[in-house]
């Protein structure tokens, strides 16, 4: 296969990730234009040195983008959304027979952003069940790594989970290590969940480059969101943990979910109770039309700049009332962050860790106490800690969503992330190194794309997040060290 002529930006062209915590200098940095182009590059081992790593919005703040001396593919031209159509597939029943079922999917290129895909689906009356807070993330950059969302409603595909992009994927095509196309489907020829497909979801792009993706969508689900705001006070760790957990249990019984941000520096905490409107009828929301655009603008700022504005705690007197209630016809499409925020300005940084919800009260209570004790000893605390709940499929083979078996008592994972406003702050780095040790002791599972400074911990911990047999054609040194730690 002869590579077509391409525009080579220039050799030795360094670039950074969004948080500017990683700088890398690939030998080849190439704008790819088509699937054929990617196949040709991958097949030409003499011209394009390994590893080959595709990149989209470059949002991950670990070194997963590092590729010194390798070949980096800039995928921005491959961002087309092709349409929505119904797919039929055979699924095995409990009695061993097969049943033909249908799922509606949206077909997309890998560099379409999650915001663009959601807006496209909503235009035609559908939605992804996953609503990304960071809408600039690309689908190709998220299907093989960790993602998270406190999603609501039912999955379009029963048993596939709910709350990460991987649970939405029905089928995808990759370019393999020799340049051939290979398609993976959620269900195999026997109508069972395909384990090769599941392995790819935690491969971190080490077995192929995604070039075509089908995402399962559903009819739009109107949602009612109740906002709770409460001031913080000394010794409130257990009360906060119990409140969030009990609210989540109540919401989940109605196909709902919750998201919480527990402020450390701002003096208050914020909880969103999200429930399908059909399951919460006759709830008045008189200010919804006015509040919706204001709230979305405010949340965009709070997330992007990691700034829970202290005066918001004055709204605690309205907490949980109809005056802080929104009714939307579908979950928001995700925020469009500023793509280049200078180092001297506030900017989101966080570190992901996942735990079973059966340990929620214990982990969150002890985690908040850890932060308070750390501040007393060292004078530093993160800006906040965020909690998100993700429904398990029981099929994932690695990472925080892996379960050998999903039981009635253990159906969800929760993510407990410290967040900070300056990614390069050395005090933030010291805090994370200590907090990660505590997280591991509590049974947490990290992410090698979202657990900042994970490489500074025992690599065996990070190895819990990866699966499969990595190909040297696609695997950089940062990722390889975690696969090696599994051996």
> Which whole number is the average pLDDT over 460-466?
97
* CA-angle at 351, arms to 308 and 165, nearest 5°: 95
pLDDT of res. 215: 98
Question: What's the rounded mean pLDDT across residues 147-175?
Answer: 96
Class of domain 81-219: alpha beta
For position 61, what pLDDT does the model report?
Answer: 84
- Whole-number pLDDT of residue 2: 40
Same fold, 81-219 and 223-329+338-464: no
Instruction: Tell me how far apart the alpha carbons of residues 230 and 260 are, in angstroms, rounded to a whole number.
Output: 11
Average pLDDT, whole number, for the chain? Answer: 94
- The whole-model pTM stands at 0.94
Two structure tokens written together for 204: 């971190």
Q: Show the tokens assigned to 354.
A: 């996942």
Q: What is the CATH number of domain 223-329+338-464?
A: 3.40.462
Looking at the DSSP bridge assignments, the partners of residue 416 are 387
Q: What's the Cα-to-Cα distance from 463 to each of 113, 412, 436, 450, 478, rounded to whole Å?
A: 28, 21, 14, 14, 11
Question: What value does the mean pLDDT take over residues 299-325?
Answer: 95
Is the Cβ–Cβ distance between 16 and 23 less than 8 Å? yes
Strand 181-185 versus strand 169-175 pairing type:
antiparallel
pLDDT greater at residue 96 or residue 73: 73
Alpha carbons 208 and 470: distance in angstroms, whole number: 9
Q: How far is CA 189 from CA 43, 89, 415, in A?
A: 29, 9, 34
* Distance from C-alpha of 353 to C-alpha of 363, rounded to nearest angstrom: 11
pLDDT of residue 12: 56
Give me the percent of the chain exceeding a pLDDT of 90.
88
Domain boundaries, the chain: 15-74, 81-219, 223-329+338-464
Mean pLDDT of 103-118: 97
Q: In this predicted structure, which of 60-74, 332-346, 394-408 has the lowest mean pLDDT?
A: 394-408
**Residues with Cβ within 8 Å of residue 117, at least 6 apart in sequence:** 81, 106, 108, 128, 139, 215
Please state, in angstroms and rounded to a whole number, the distance separating the CA atoms of residues 48 and 108: 27
């Amino acid at each position: 296969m002869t590579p077509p002529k391409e525009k080579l930006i220039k050799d030795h062209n360094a670039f950074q990730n969004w948080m500017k915590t990683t700088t890398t200098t690939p030998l080849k940095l190439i704008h790819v234009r088509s699937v054929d182009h990617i196949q040709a590059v991958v097949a030409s081992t003499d011209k394009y040195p390994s590893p080959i790593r595709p990149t989209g919005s470059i949002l991950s703040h670990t070194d997963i983008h590092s590729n010194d001396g390798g070949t980096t593919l800039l995928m921005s031209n491959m961002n087309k959304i092709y349409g929505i159509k119904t797919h039929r597939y055979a699924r095995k029943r409990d009695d061993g027979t097969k049943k033909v079922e249908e799922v509606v999917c949206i077909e997309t290129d890998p560099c379409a952003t999650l915001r663009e895909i959601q807006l496209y689906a909503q235009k035609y009356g559908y939605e992804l069940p996953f609503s990304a807070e960071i809408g600039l993330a690309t689908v190709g950059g998220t299907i093989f790594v960790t993602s998270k969302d406190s999603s609501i409603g039912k999955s379009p595909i029963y048993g596939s989970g709910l709350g990460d992009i991987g649970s939405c994927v029905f089928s995808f095509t990759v370019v393999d290590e020799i340049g051939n196309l290979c398609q993976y489907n959620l269900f195999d020829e026997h109508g069972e969940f395909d384990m090769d497909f599941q392995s790819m979801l935690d491969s971190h792009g080490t077995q192929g480059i995604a070039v075509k993706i089908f995402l399962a969508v559903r009819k739009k689900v109107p949602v009612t969101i109740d906002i709770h705001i409460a001031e913080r006070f000394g010794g409130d760790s257990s009360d906060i943990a119990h409140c969030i957990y009990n609210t989540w249990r109540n919401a989940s019984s109605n196909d709902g979910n919750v998201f919480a941000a527990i402020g450390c520096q701002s003096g208050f905490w914020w909880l969103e109770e999200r429930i399908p409107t059909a399951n919460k009828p006759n709830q008045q929301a008189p200010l919804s039309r006015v509040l919706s655009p204001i709230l979305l603008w405010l949340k965009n700022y709070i997330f992007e700049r990691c700034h829970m504005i202290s005066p918001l705690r004055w709204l605690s007197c309205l907490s949980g009332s109809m005056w802080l209630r929104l009714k939307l016809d579908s979950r928001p499409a995700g925020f469009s962050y500023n793509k280049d925020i200078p180092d001297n300005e506030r900017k989101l940084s966080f570190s992901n860790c996942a735990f079973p919800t059966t340990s929620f009260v214990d982990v969150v209570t002890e985690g908040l106490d850890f932060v308070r004790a750390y501040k007393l000893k060292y004078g530093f605390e993160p800006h906040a800690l965020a909690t998100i709940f993700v429904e398990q499929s029981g099929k994932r083979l690695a990472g925080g969503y892996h379960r050998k078996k999903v039981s009635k008592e253990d159906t969800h994972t929760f993510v407990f992330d410290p967040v900070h406003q300056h990614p390069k702050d050395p005090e933030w780095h010291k805090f994370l190194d200590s907090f990660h040790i505590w997280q591991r002791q509590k049974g947490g599972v990290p992410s090698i794309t979202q657990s900042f400074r994970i490489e500074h911990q025992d690599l065996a911990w990070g190895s819990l997040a990866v699966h499969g047999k990595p190909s040297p054609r696609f695997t950089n040194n940062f990722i390889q060290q975690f696969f090696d730690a599994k051996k």
